[in-house]
């Protein structure tokens, strides 16, 4: 029997990544949007705060275990921006966000284009769970000069992966799921789930 977890998101790209990793472990992932739940306003000042807020809200609205992700890109030359505002950096769609990032980075030299993705995950058993399970992971890279690749979503076509000569959008999904910020966070979460939480 599969354990159902509501994913506090309407993002099908994230859902694919979560399902690929969690379903083999016996968890069925249901998007909150499939249950008519709309995301709350993200009022936290960190990825962890926003993940906790979203998980508690989804658990309250559905009565189910809830898993929330708050992820984003932090660019060193931009003092960590777009950060927690990554999804709504320039109007809320990937194309606009990528165009704005390229414009802001157009005069930044290669050695100053370092960046990292962050992923904060929070799992709660119910809305008042006194011990939410949280993890934070990162993925090092740099910002490219143009969009490359068609896979992934968000800033993936601009995110050049450290140690590989490609963008995140060029990685096969099975590789990305192993080495990305979300993959690393999910790995840490599944370890905690298997050893401490069930």
CATH of the domain at 34: 3.90.950.10
Q: Is 182 known as a binding-site position?
A: yes
What whole-number distance in Å separates Cα of residue 183 and Cα of residue 177? 5
Q: Which of 69, 70, 76, 94 is catalytic?
A: 70
Residue of 158 and 187 predicted with greater confidence: 158
Q: What is the pLDDT of residue 141?
A: 98
For the chain, give percent helix, strand, coil, nearest 5: 45, 25, 35
The annotation status of 156 as a binding-site residue, yes or no, is: yes
Containing structural domain, residue 28: 3-197
Q: Is 155 annotated as a binding residue?
A: yes
pLDDT tier, 190 (very low <50, low <70, confident <90, very high otherwise):
confident
Length of the chain: 198
User: Is 125 assigned to a binding site?
Assistant: no
pLDDT of residue 51: 97
For residue 73, give both structure tokens. 């890109």
Closest Cα partner for 54 from 35, 73, 32, 80?
Answer: 32
- Going by pLDDT thresholds of 50, 70 and 90, the confidence category of residue 1 is very low
| Catalytic-residue membership of 76 | no
| pLDDT tens profile 127-143 | 999 999 999 999 999 99
The pLDDT-based confidence of 11 (bands split at 50, 70, 90) is: confident
pLDDT at position 25 is 82
Torsion of CA 182, 90, 37, 59, to 10 degrees: 40
| In 130-180, alpha helices (H) | 173-179
Q: Check whether 192 is labelled as a binding-site residue.
A: no
How many domains does one find in the chain? 1
Side by side, which strands form the sheet with 3-7? 27-31, 3-7, 65-75, 114-124, 133-143, 159-161
């Amino acid at each position: 029997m599969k354990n159902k977890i509501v994913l506090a998101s309407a993002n099908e790209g994230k859902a694919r990544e979560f399902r690929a990793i969690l379903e083999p472990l016996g968890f069925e992932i249901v998007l909150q949007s499939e249950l008519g739940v709309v995301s709350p306003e993200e009022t936290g000042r960190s990825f962890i705060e926003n993940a906790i807020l979203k998980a508690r809200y989804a658990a309250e609205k559905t009565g189910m275990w809830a898993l929330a992700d708050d992820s984003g890109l932090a660019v060193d030359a931009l003092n960590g921006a777009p950060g927690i505002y990554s999804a709504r950096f320039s109007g809320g769609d990937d194309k606009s966000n990528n165009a704005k990032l390229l414009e802001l980075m157009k005069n930044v030299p290669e050695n100053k284009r370092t960046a990292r993705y962050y992923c904060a995950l929070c799992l709660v058993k119910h809305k008042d769970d006194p011990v939410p399970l949280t993890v934070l992971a990162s993925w090092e890279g740099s910002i490219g000069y143009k969009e490359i690749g068609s896979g992934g979503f968000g800033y993936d076509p601009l995110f050049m992966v450290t140690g590989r000569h490609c963008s995140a959008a060029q990685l096969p999904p099975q590789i990305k799921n192993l080495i990305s910020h979300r993959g690393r966070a999910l790995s840490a979460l599944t370890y905690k789930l298997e050893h401490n939480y069930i």
